[in-house]
Amino acid sequence: MSDSNLNIQLSYLYRDAGNYKQFGNIIFSNPENIPLEVISAKIRAALIDGEYFVASKWQIPALQSFHFDEELDHNWHEFEDIESTKEEVTNERSISEFLNQL
């Protein structure tokens, strides 16, 4: 599948102290046709310990819909994957704008 004119889906999850998982994704436009390898490398460079991020700092929705126990839970989300998609955009920023804000 060609990446030309495809949007970019970022998949992520939140795992609470009880190991309950909540999954989510966000879809950005990719008008500059930035290759997935470049996008992935920039995202991975911004991760905490190569895996985690704080959703509010990345300006994407937090997935903490269960009861939040401040003594046990945390605000780190896990990066899961990045892929091309034909699905509709769910964020007003392009992937380029998103990457520049990391």
What is d(CA 35, CA 89) in angstroms, rounded to the nearest whole number?
17
Q: Which amino acid is at 88?
A: E
pLDDT in tens, 31-71: 999 999 999 999 999 999 999 999 999 999 999 766 666 66
Q: Which string of DSSP letters, residue by residue, matches 8-53?
A: EEEEEEEE-TT--EEEEEEEEB-TT---HHHHHHHHHHHSBTTTEE
- Regarding pTM above 0.85, the answer is yes
